[in-house]
Amino acid sequence: MDYNYNYNKPGVSTKKKFVAALVIAFVVLLAINVAMFAVFSSTLKALIEGDIDTAAEQLEEMLDGKIDGAMSDRLTTTISEQIAESLVDEISQSATLAVMDTVTDELIDNYKREYNLPENYAGIGVIVAAEVGSVLELEATGNLNAPYQNQTTSSQSSAFIINTDGYVITNAHCVTYEAGIYEYNSWLVRQIGSETKVYTSIMANFKGSTQQYEMEVVAYDVDKDLAVIKFVTPPANLQPVVFGDSDLLSLGEEVAAIGNAQGLGISLTTGVVSNPPQAYQDVKVIQTDTTINPGNSGGPLFNIYGEFIGVVSFKIIESELNEGLGFAIASNSVKEYIESVETQKSITINYLEP
C-alpha cells in the first residue's frame, strides 16, 4: 500500500539566514587570518632579509667584489619578498583547509537540526504520517509447556522495516514469551522455573490490510529487549525507515510514535522528549510523554524530520493516578545491536541514514 502524505508550506527563512551568516563568518575568519599572516610575514621578512644580507656578504666575498652594493640590495629584496610571499601563501592555504575541514557538512547539518525546522514543515504529525507504510502490526502465538501444552499464548505488537531485503526491528518481548518448566511428582505438578521461547507463529500486516506475511526470527536479546526479524517472503516495494542520530535529541523536541496500540491497528500519537537518551541496563533510552499503550511495543519513535530515533519498549506506571513514563530504546543503541547481530550471524543488514 502506498502511504504518501504530501504537504506544502513556504520554506523557513531561518535556514537561509544561517547559511548567509556562516558564509560571512567564514570570510571574516579568513580575512583575520590573512591580516595576522601579513603581520607575521613582515616580521619574517625582516628576519629573512637579515639572513640574506649575511648570505649576500658571503656571496660578495666569494665573488671577490664582482657585485656592487646596489645589486646586492636588489638581490636581497627580491629573494626575501619571494620567500615571504611563498610562506604567506602556504600558511593561508593551510588555514583555509583547516577551516574547511572544521566546517563540515555534518557540522552544518547538526546545527540546522538543532536550530531550524525542516523545509516545508507542516507539523510533526503530518511529517511522520508519511512513514506509516514502514510500520507493521504483529500477531504472535506460541504453545505452553506440559501440562499446558494444549494451551496457547499470544501477543499483538508492532515492528518496522529497516531495508528492502525484508529485515525488521521489534522488541524481544514481542517475539518471545516465558513458558513454565514443571516437575511431576506422582499426582502433584510443580513449576520449578521458566524458559524463554520464540513464538511458533509470527504474522505481520500493513495498516488497513488483511494480507498477512509470515515472519522469522533472526536474533533477539532479552536484556536489550531488541530483536531482528525478517519476512520469509519479502513483498515488493518495501518502505524502510531512515535512521536518525538519537544523540542529537534535545529536551522538549517533538516526537511521534506509530504502533498497533491495544491491537486495534496502526495509529499515530505525538509528544515531546521528556528526557534525552540516558543509560539503562545495556542500552540508552529516551523518555517521552507520547501516548504509549500495550501493542505500541516494538514500534518506531520519529523526530521532526521523519527519522527513526527510538524503538518504543515499555511503559512504567507509577500509580493509578498518573499517566506513567514512556520509553523508547535509542536508535544509536539499535545500530550497535544490528552490528552485533551481523557479527554473530555472519550476515549483512543494511539500513538507511540521512
Residues designated as active site: 173, 225, 297
Distance CA 184, CA 45 (A): 97
Distance CA 266, CA 252 (A): 25
Contact predicate 48/87, CB 8 Å: no
The type of residue at 120 is: N
User: In this structure, which long-range contacts are made by residues 76-79, counting pairs with CB atoms below 8 Å and at least 24 apart in sequence?
Assistant: 76/49, 76/52, 77/49, 79/48, 79/52
Distances, alpha carbon 202 to alpha carbons 80, 174, 198, 208, 246, in Å:
80, 9, 9, 18, 29
Q: How would you classify the pairing of strands 254-259 and 201-205?
A: unpaired
Contact predicate 144/180, CB 8 Å: yes
Contact predicate 288/271, CB 8 Å: yes
C-alpha cell belonging to residue 277: 537518551
Nearest to 259 by CA among 201, 207, 329, 335: 207
Distance CA 143, CA 198 (A): 10
Residue 77 phi, psi (nearest 5):
-65, -45
Distance CA 265, CA 156 (A): 10
